[in-house]
Amino acid sequence: MSSLIAPHSFYISTSQESQDIDARTIQEFGIESFTLMEVAGYSAFRDLIQRLQPKSHGLFFCGKGNNAGDALVVARYLLQHGFDITAVFISGTDDLSEDTRKNFQLLKRIKEANSSIGSLTIISSWNEFDLHTEADFVIDGMLGTGLDSEVRGDYNKAITWSNKEELPVYAMDIPTGLHGDTGKVMGNAISADLTYSFGTLKQGLYLNDGPGKAGEVIYCELPFPNHLKDICSAYLLDDQYVLAEPDRSPRHKYEAGVLYVVAGSEGLTGAAMLAAQSAWAEGIGAVILVCPHGNLPIYEKALPQIIKKPIGERDDYFFKEEHTEEVIATISEKKGKVLIGPGLGRNDSTIGFVQQLLETNEGDMLLDADGLWCLAQLKEWNKPKASTWILTPHPGELSNLLGRSIEDDHDRLESVKTLSTEKNVNILSKGYPVILGTPEAKAYLTSYDTRKFSRAGFGDVLAGKIGAFWSRDNSAAKSSALALLKGKHILENLLKADSSRIVEPKDFI
């Protein structure tokens, strides 16, 4: 099991995993499905009522399945708090699921028992719905995670109407029309302002079209026994891991973390500097820049606090195969982690150097940028058994490692899980979302907008941060998580001060 998993981690489930957890909770622990629906709906209601204007009018778009039942629970509680409710059953009220039928009856009984609460209007088909109906918000309870074909007919019409209206939309579990696993729009999909995800977070909310359709995602706890959730293979990268960031102890510098940065070539020295500066800013004991000798004057002037270890002759401006032994001797002087790749270049001799280094060095290594490109030139590659590797590819670099193109984010997620397991490596796949795969076939997804980090140089800064955290005896996965979340927090603070600010790599050093 990955070292990142904690009892309060947010589990991300596929549709099948969610169904299995639900079924086992009912069958093995006797918690009835009706109870689960009640808890789900009430959880959504408790948050929703804080967002709505008192006694406003809500349109509840309902299908026939349990997604509609969740919505009807919300409707019942809002009705009792003076809200006006219009429940629109897109394809009629016949053949409702058992629990949804019960909640439909409960909703009507509540109104019959107390006429002084909000108004209740039932629309039994989409054709009966007045397209000019005025309302204050929409609740999407039409179709859930089981959708596996394109939305058609009246459901498609309801989605189109909702998306054209300028009303806040709140989705139950997942926006109607969004695939629960891939996050792709199935022909048409609700554009929600907020989605309440019940029991587990649904994978489709974070992939492909998911983030744009789901809006803000609110997790609602259900009484699922935690051990049943262990079938999930994905997790939300949660801020809890930042709290676990260790402080630097007042000890000898070489005991406070050592990172070797093997980087740089003529014309690409900036990448090496960003990586080294980023690592140094985290307060580790020493950052040692291992560089071609010809580039040393640039670093001596720009990086006074960084230890420099020049390799080769004064006229060497890129790494060569004959430098391998000297580099191995250098990175073996002190115990530490090795970051290789930023600004290395793609000279044929450099490719040979990187490949030899990877094959012969049994220490822990973080491969980024050109280091990954050199690795991908090998037809077959495997890390030494005694070492731990972290790979940080962007989508193009991941495609090179896989030897094929990547179709979409769902393909990227599955590919990262497979490759990290087969090669026994940790893979931080850059993109939106970032996907962190571990050798245990677990994956962690970011929920924040990582597109802000797409400019040149951000990858070098991230690599330096990961290397710094890793050098302080964190696990590879935890180091990657800490680096990602630190970047997230810095970004939030910068945008809080100036929402229009265009961030630069140096802002994160």
Binding residues: 67, 140, 144-150, 155, 173, 176, 271, 343, 394, 459-460
Average pLDDT over residues 64-93: 99
Q: Looking at the domain assignment, is residue 429 inside a domain? A: yes
The answer, yes or no, to whether residue 164 has pLDDT greater than 80, is yes
pLDDT score for 473: 79
CA distances from 228 to 7, 17, 18 (A): 12, 10, 10
265 in Cβ contact with 317 (< 8 Å)? yes
pLDDT in tens, 359-409: 999 999 999 999 999 999 998 999 999 999 999 999 999 999 999 999 999
Q: 1 lies in a domain?
A: no
**At residue 3, does pLDDT exceed 80?**
no
Query: What are the tokens at 354?
Result: 């990187």
Strands 10-13 and 234-236, sheet pairing? antiparallel
CA nearest to 421, candidates 44, 134, 2, 6? 2
Please count the other Cβ atoms lying within 10 Å of the Cβ belonging to residue 251: 9
Distances (CA, A) of 203 to 145, 179, 234, 236, 356: 10, 9, 8, 10, 40
Place of tokens 């990657």: 480
Are both 304 and 273 inside the same structural domain?
A: yes
Alpha helices of 236-389 — where are they, by DSSP H? 240-243, 269-280, 296-302, 324-331, 348-360, 370-376
Q: 268 and 184 share a domain?
A: no
Same domain, 181 and 267: no
Single-letter residue type at 93: T
Whole-number Å distance between alpha carbons of 460 and 274: 6
For residues 204 and 259, membership in a common domain is answered with no
Q: Please indicate, yes or no, if residue 261 is contained in any of the structural domains.
A: yes
Q: Is residue 2 part of a domain?
A: no
Let me know whether 273 and 382 are in one domain. yes
One domain, residues 434 and 362: yes
> Is residue 158 assigned to a domain?
yes
Shared domain check, 307 and 210: no
What tokens were used for 493? 């603070």
CATH code at 434?
3.40.1190.20
247 torsion bin: left (phi>0), alpha (psi -120 to 50), beta (else): beta
Distances in Å between the Cα of 14 and the Cα atoms of 129, 181, 331 are 34, 5, 43
Give the residue ranges of the annotated binding site for AMP. Answer: 459
Residues in contact with 214: Cβ distance below 8 Å, sequence separation at least 6, in sequence order: 171, 174, 175, 178, 192, 195, 205
Pair (255, 212) in one structural domain: no
Of 233, 257, 291, which residue sits at a domain end? 233
The verdict on 228 and 260 lying in the same domain is no
In the chain, the amino acid numbered 476 is A
255 and 222 co-located in one domain? no
> Rounded distance, CA 507 to CA 486, Å?
12
Residue 3: inside a domain: no
User: How far is residue 219's CA from residue 221's CA, in Å, rounded to a whole number?
Assistant: 6
What does the pLDDT read at residue 391?
A: 99
DSSP characters over 247-284: PPPSS-GGGS-EEEEE---TT-HHHHHHHHHHHHTTT-
Which of 215, 233, 251 lies at the terminal end of a domain, its last residue? Answer: 233
The three-point CA angle 169-170-176 to 5° equals 90
Min mean pLDDT across 8-17, 154-163, 397-406, 439-448 is at 8-17
210 plus 342 within the same structural domain: no
| 278 neighbors 461 (Cβ within 8 angstroms) | yes
Q: How many domains does the chain have?
A: 2
Binding residues for (6S)-NADPHX, by number, are 144-150, 155, 173, 271, 343, 394, 460
Domain end among 199, 233, 267? 233
What's the CATH code of the domain at 135? Answer: 3.40.50.10260
Average model confidence (pLDDT) for the chain? 95
Residue 411 lies in a domain: yes
Q: What is the pLDDT of residues 225-280, one digit of tens each?
A: 999 999 999 999 977 655 554 555 545 566 779 999 999 999 999 999 999 999 99
Positions at the binding site for K(+):
67, 140, 176
Q: Domain containing 57: what range? A: 10-233
Residues 197 and 285 in one domain: no
Report the DSSP pairing between strands 435-437 and 286-292.
unpaired
Is position 88 within any domain? yes
Question: Has residue 1 got a pLDDT over 60?
Answer: no
